[in-house]
Structure formats: C-alpha cells, structure tokens
Amino acid sequence: MTAHTLTVAERAIGPLPAGHPPVAKPKIGVLLVNLGTPDGTDYKPMRRYLAEFLSDRRVIEWPRAVWYPILYGIVLNTRPKKSGHAYATIWNKERNESPLRTFTRAQGEKLAERLMAHPEIAVDWGMRYGQPSVAEKVDALIARGCERILCFPLYPQYSASTTATVNDVFFKHLMGKRWMPAARTVPAYHDEPVYIDALARSIETHLSTLDFEPEKVIASYHGIPQSYFRKGDPYHCHCQKTSRLLNERLGWPEGRLMTTFQSRFGPEEWLQPYTDKTVQALAEGGTKRIAVFNPGFVSDCLETLEEIAVGVGEIFREHGGENFTHIPCLNDSEPGMAVIETLVRRELQGWIA
C-alpha cells in the first residue's frame, strides 16, 4: 500500500481490501462564527432571534426566575418591533438579509479562495444566534469529510458573552456525536500586530478621503455590564490594550484617540465612558469634527451602521457638532481578510504543511 494519510475507515479497519469503494481523503474544516442575525425585520423573525440571543445565560447572567418574566413579559413584546424598524434602515434589500450575514458570507468565501493551495481545507461560516447555525455548519463540515475542525469566533477582544458562548455551542454540539472530530478554537487577537496594523490602515485610508480633519477619533467598543468585569471578564482590558497599541501604531498625540463603550441594555451599570454621552459632551464642549470606528466588530452590523453611523452622528450634530464620519469595520477588505487568514494559518499549524 502506498504511503498516504489514513482515513477514519482505514485507521479503524486497516488497509482497504481489493475492490473496496474509494474512501474520501480526510479534510480539515475552518468555521467562521459571528454573533448572529434575524431572518427578517418583521415581528416574528425578530422575536425569534431576540429570544434566542437574550435567553443565553452568557449574555444575561441574571437568575432565570428574575430575568424570564421580564424577557417574556416585557422585552419580547416590545423590542422586536423597535429592533425591526432599526434593522429595516440598514437591511440588504438585494439579498434580503442583514449586512452582517452578507459580510460574514463574503469573509468565508474569500478565505476559501486564499486557502485554495490547500485542497484538504473546507471553509464555512455560521452564526451563534439565528441562521445558519453553528450546529448546522459543523454537521456540514463533517459530511464533507472533515476529521478536524477549527472554530473561529470572530471577536478580537475576548468576553464570556461573545467568544465563550460561541465555544459553548460548538463543543456542546460535538458532545452529541458518536464520532467526534478533533477540535480547536481561535483565541482572542486584540493585540495581534496584523490586526492592529489592519485597523490603522483602515483609519488612515478613510481619513485621507475626508475634506476635514477630525479633532477626536473615537474607538467605540460594545459594552458589557460592570458586574461581568468585576467577576474577571478580561474584555475591558483587551479593549484598552487594543486602543493603546493602535494609538502607538498611528503615532498620534495623547488624547486624540478616545475609548468608549456602546449598546448598553437594562438597568445595570455598564463599562464607561458611554459612547453617546461622550459624543454629546464633546459637541457641547466645542468639538466640531469627530470620527468614530468600531474595533470590536469584525463586520458592520446594526450596532455600527444604525447605532453609531446614524444615531451617534445625529447626537453629535444636534448638540453643536458639525462634521461627523463613521469609519467602516474591516469587513471583507484586503486588510481585514489578511487578519483572518493570518490567524487561521497560525492556528492550523501541525494540521497542514
């Protein structure tokens, strides 16, 4: 028998006998996973998506006896309509999907192209909440012959409410398999040089297109409750380190780049300073020109396109600001894809040549 990589069947029963049907060579799966998306902007798909998202114990850590009456008695009766209207303003009408799904698909397709020299690698993408689900995509990779799977939660800064919950659902699905493929996950990459450089290049490119120079550039990260931070979540530290390294890479004077947190929900105190209140204070204090970007988001989505580009821009202008710009996320840009490819190749070491 000529030397080659043994398949699962060959390892189990030895060399295949003469006349045995051909057995596909094993593959290595790479699964990109983003937060999630509703299937539509109407009440029912929005409610279904929000119910899955807000019932995750990693996202809302309150006791179920306290949280569920609020979730099912109030939130899921009022928020779907409001969120649906917000999604409608940014919806990709051509594809009838959210921008997050559009960009995540593009990232998966472009990564597959970049790894074409490795035919043993199968790339796919999924969502933690909504469709396509992580379970569905894991099953698809196994069906394609993947004996090893690398799961990539697309969050630069680690939080239990993001990275950990992707890993939860990934490994929980594998737990139900009779035959379980070998598995790896990509860690946080908040301080990776390729990521910092990609952010810097994106900012420099965008600012070069403006007819004004921002006095302040704000790095707006998604927030988490202060209580999560006090329990040991490293997210706040990761965000601060990203901003510090980015400022060093840009070579800006102290104070031009600011770090803030957005998207707070509920009555708890969240990480501060808050983006909306910071922007309002800057405008009221005489700042006339600002730019905002979202380094914690790999792809543009509701929180960047509607909450920041539209909502925060309106707050700035309503309180005396004049020039506002939102710097897009890395999305499937060349610098953004370089980040994803670099990390995937690093985490596949030992699995591919």
Across the range 230-255, mean pLDDT stands at 97
Half-sphere exposure in the Cβ direction for 159 (13 Å, CA): 27
Residue in this structure with the two tokens 């800057």, named with its chain if needed: 282
Per residue in 106-128, is it b (16+ CB within 10 Å) or e — as a string? bbbebbeebbeebebbbbbbbbb
> Measured on CA atoms in the order 345, 347, 351, 353, is the torsion positive or negative?
positive
Based on the structure, what is the number of domains in the chain? Answer: 2
Q: Say whether both 72 and 198 belong to one domain.
A: no
**Domain annotation covers residue 218:** yes
Q: Say whether both 204 and 318 belong to one domain.
A: yes
**Domain annotation covers residue 166:** no
**Domain annotation covers residue 321:** yes
**Domain annotation covers residue 63:** yes
**Domain annotation covers residue 344:** no
Q: Which two tokens stand for residue 54?
A: 């807000």
Write down the pLDDT at residue 14: 57
The chain-wide mean pLDDT, for the chain, equals 94
Domain containing 285 — which CATH number? 3.40.50.1400
Q: What share of the chain is helix, strand, coil (3-state, %, to 5)?
A: 45, 20, 35
Please tell me which residue, 20 or 119, carries the higher pLDDT value: 119
**Domain annotation covers residue 200:** yes
Phi and psi for 184 in degrees, rounded to 5?
-135, 160
Quick: pLDDT tens for 49-76.
Answer: 999 999 999 999 999 999 999 999 999 9
**Domain annotation covers residue 11:** no
**Domain annotation covers residue 264:** yes
Cα gap 350→352, rounded to integer Å: 6
Amino acid at 63: P
Helix (H, G, I), strand (E, B) or coil at 322: coil
- pTM attached to this predicted model: 0.92
Range of the domain at 85: 41-90
Please tell me which residue, 10 or 159, carries the higher pLDDT value: 159
